[in-house]
A and B are shown apart, each in its own frame.
Chain A
Amino acid sequence: MPRPSPDSKPRLAPGCRLSDAPTQQATLLMPEGALKLRGPGLQILRSCDGQHTLAEIVATLQSQFRQADPKKVESDTTEFLEQLNARRAVDFE
């Protein structure tokens, strides 16, 4: 599978949404599965609204985590979203 282009706009796939229960830990709900979100995972998925490009999402995280290696932030974010894409939880539009 080709790597997603930095210009693509990730978006939660149909049937996938973030839990809206106030008492629950942040969770990505999907058909027959749920993913508990820790760290920046929740923030990344909140920006997967089909409006922001992958490059924009990465740039925001890089400016927030200044101590981290920018290349690592980029590769970790891309890999996270690719894995969710393989599970059909995220589309690249």
Chain B
Amino acid sequence: MKKVAPASPPASDDRNRDPQPPPNRGPQKSDFMPGPLALIAELTHRCPLHCVYCSNPLQMKPRTEELSTATWIDVFKQAANLGALQLDLTGGEPLARADLTELIAAARSAKLYTNLITSGIGLTPERFDALVRAGLDHIQISFQDSQAAQGDEFAGTTAHEKKLAIAAAIKKHRIGFTLNFVVHRGNLVRLEEMIALAENLGAQKVEIAHVQYYGWATENRAALLPTRLQLDRSLEIIQAAEARLRGRLRVDYVVPDYYARYPKACMGGWGRKLMLIDPSGEALPCHAARVIPNLHFENVTKRPLEWIWQESESFQKFRGEDWMQEPCRTCDRRTIDFGGCRCQALLLAGDAALTDPVCSLSPKHDLVTAITDRSNFPATHALASSSESTLVTPSWIYRPNPS
């Protein structure tokens, strides 16, 4: 927690105190930057699922480029030394790494809280026992739907029944257990069933996350974006569930930012709280950051983590407020949402330094309204344009597997 800035600068010999920024100014590039709170390790892009909204980049890293066990372990130790408390092990499917148990044990020895984000496919009760013995703190299992037929359609493979089977094995251990549902136009009608499934499987937390439009989700956006009516109904269901389940099942809800008034504080601010390492060791300030042109990302096999966090161009690029344009530059919310998502500004408006167009204050907000209008008034748009119709069954673009 930052202290309030004093009227006079601190004495130069007082090295234990944070350098104090002048009043009325947010953190700037030159200020001391605390280390990341959490490290997100994308262990692999390989995955047995082919979800139509996968957030992995369109250009995935092949197995041959994946980091070795020893390099990952070294990265975990460096992150812990920088002050990171938590480690998210994700992918692709992290279980596709045969060394996952070893990685978890090493992360726990480095005093990190270990969180496995998985589809559950590839997990047996025996392997799960081994992960728990290695020190796994928390497991998050994704479900694509409450119903097998629909879930398997969105995942592009047969997965739902296997997930149900492994969830039963998880309940036998005293370990943090979250169920994650990515929700969209095609499954919101079963939101109450999804929450009931999390209750029945004995999870402590259910995460209901609207699709975010990056990676493969952008390819399927017309079929995934919910209507305003669906969104309003889902909010009612969430509020009722929160009240009913308080103290038993925590309900976390991620809003669809195309319908939000203000943008999300993407990654808690660029280079401010989180660091993501991709399967090949590239350090990214955000999952989707590679879409931003002319930005060079450092690799952990070439540079120490601390240097990448503190000094690298990519982590400094949108840190603080120097890069901001109007309306962000003078907006009171700039210390709350940090201008929104840089990748979304690039994807929607072609410039990563603009205000996130999902913000109602953005001069480019009509770009987002045009997209949501197509979802809310499909008949009008189907008549106007025969090429883009959401009235028919969607033909999904599935995420493939990297070589």
- From the candidates B137, B205, B246, B248, name the one contacting A17 in the complex (CB within 8 A): B137
Question: Could you tell me which residues of chain A, from 13 to 34, have a CB within 8 Å of some CB in chain B?
Answer: 13-17, 19-21, 24, 27, 29-32, 34
Contact with A along B81-114 (1 / 0, CB 8 A): 0010110000000000000000000000001010
A87 in contact (CB, < 8 A): yes
Q: How far is the CA of A27 from the CA of B85 in the complex (A)?
A: 9
- Residue pair A86, B86 in contact (C-beta under 8 Å): no
A27: chain B residues within 8 A (beta carbon):
85
Contact with B along A24-62 (1 / 0, CB 8 A): 100101111010100000000000000000000000000
- Residue pair A15, B176 in contact (C-beta under 8 Å): yes
B316 in contact (CB, < 8 A): no
- Residue pair B176, A19 in contact (C-beta under 8 Å): no
- From the candidates A14, A34, A92, name the one contacting B177 in the complex (CB within 8 A): A14
| Shortest Cβ gap from B354 to chain A (Å) | 29
B247: chain A residues within 8 A (beta carbon):
1, 85-86, 88, 92
B383 in contact (CB, < 8 A): no
Which of B1, B86, B175 lies at the interface centre, i.e. has the most chain A CB atoms within 10 A of its CB? B86
B37 in contact (CB, < 8 A): yes
Q: Which residue in chain B gives the minimum CB-CB distance to A30?
A: B176
- Residue pair B85, A31 in contact (C-beta under 8 Å): no
Question: Could you tell me which residues of chain B, from 168 to 217, have a CB within 8 Å of some CB in chain A?
Answer: 174-178, 204-205
- From the candidates A21, A31, A87, name the one contacting B111 in the complex (CB within 8 A): A21
A1: chain B residues within 8 A (beta carbon):
246-247
B334 in contact (CB, < 8 A): no
Q: Which residue in chain B gives the minimum CB-CB distance to A90?
A: B247
The tally of residues in A whose CB lies under 8 Å from a CB in B reads 22
Q: How far is the CA of A18 from the CA of B86 in the complex (A)?
A: 13
B44: chain A residues within 8 A (beta carbon):
none
- Residue pair B85, A19 in contact (C-beta under 8 Å): yes
A29: chain B residues within 8 A (beta carbon):
85-86, 113, 137
Q: Which residue in chain B gives the minimum CB-CB distance to A20?
A: B111
| Shortest Cβ gap from B101 to chain A (Å) | 18
Q: Which residue in chain B gives the minimum CB-CB distance to A27?
A: B85
B284 in contact (CB, < 8 A): no
| Shortest Cβ gap from B336 to chain A (Å) | 18
Q: How far is the CA of A87 from the CA of B249 in the complex (A)?
A: 9
B389: chain A residues within 8 A (beta carbon):
none
- Residue pair B111, A15 in contact (C-beta under 8 Å): no
Q: 6 closest A-B pairs (Cβ-Cβ)?
A: A15-B176, A21-B111, A88-B250, A29-B113, A15-B138, A31-B138
Taking Cβ atoms with an 8 Å cutoff, the residues of A that contact B are 1, 13-17, 19-21, 24, 27, 29-32, 34, 36, 85-88, 92
Q: With A14-B175, A14-B176, A32-B115 given, name 17 new contacts (CB 8 A).
A: A1-B246, A13-B176, A14-B174, A14-B204, A15-B176, A15-B177, A17-B113, A19-B113, A24-B83, A27-B85, A31-B137, A32-B86, A85-B247, A86-B250, A87-B250, A88-B204, A92-B247
A–B pairs, 27, beta carbons within 8 Å? A1-B247, A14-B175, A14-B177, A16-B176, A17-B113, A17-B137, A19-B113, A21-B80, A24-B83, A24-B85, A24-B111, A27-B85, A29-B85, A29-B113, A29-B137, A31-B138, A31-B178, A32-B86, A34-B37, A34-B86, A34-B113, A85-B247, A86-B246, A86-B247, A88-B204, A88-B249, A88-B250
